[in-house]
Structure formats: structure tokens, C-alpha cells
Amino acid sequence: MQKINLSEAFGRFEELWSPKIIGEVNDCQVKLAKVKGEFVWHRHEEEDELFLVVKGRFTLRFRDRDVDLEEGELMIVPRGVEHLPVADEEAHLLVFEPGTTLNTGEVRNDRTVDSPERLY
């Protein structure tokens, strides 16, 4: 049981699109992710997913619209909703989602991270 300074935690890794676990809240996990560029269209059949922008800007593309998020803004993508995460410049995200969530959802490719690392 320790406090976590987000800035210090983001300093512990460099990889893009590779979420790191920093803790659990019952069945959910708290993860940090550095992102830049375009990810892959995907959805999570059973899991809602919260994205909070800690640094930079981040866009969630949906099939019918784009939502631009700035620092201090969050969005919850409900289960079943297809989304494409995009960031023109590197952005730092805090993600809150069930521990069963696979980063690429129903898609499997070279971006898929089956066992995210733990930072703490």
C-alpha cells in the first residue's frame, strides 16, 4: 500500500501503446499508457473503459464522430462500442477498466498485449 505520483510513474517506462498496471480496485485495474499515432479499431464486448488524459491531447474516434480530449478530461467508452484511439503527439493516459480487458479488444495483432507489466 503506497501512494503513486503519476508523473513519477510515467517516467518509469517509454513504450507506446503498452499499458502498465499500477493497481487494482476490486475486479478493475488502473493502468497507465503512453500513446502516439493511431491504434487499431476495436471494441470490448464485456468491458467499459475509462480514459483520463493526464498529459497532452488524445482523440477517441467512433464510427459516427471524433471526440477530442485534453488534459483533465475523461471519457468512458461503454462495452460493445467500436473505437479508435489516436494521438497526434505523445499523450499520457490513465485507464480504468476490468482486469479482463485486452487492449486490442476482439482484434489480435502485433499491438496486442496479453499480460501487461506491473509498474509497482
Q: Which residues bind its own copies (CB under 8 A)?
A: 1-7, 23-28, 30, 46-50, 52, 54, 67, 69-70, 72-79, 81, 94, 96-98
Minimum CB separation of residue 47 from its own copies in Å reads 6
- Cβ nearer to its own copies, comparing 36 with 79: 79
- Cβ nearer to its own copies, comparing 60 with 109: 60
CA distances from residue 109 to 50, 57, 95, 102, 113 in whole angstroms, order as listed: 22, 25, 21, 12, 9
DSSP H helices, 15-68, are none
- Cβ nearer to its own copies, comparing 90 with 98: 98
Distance between CA 105 and CA 37 in Å, rounded? 18
Minimum CB separation of residue 110 from its own copies in Å reads 27
Distance between CA 43 and CA 38 in Å, rounded? 15
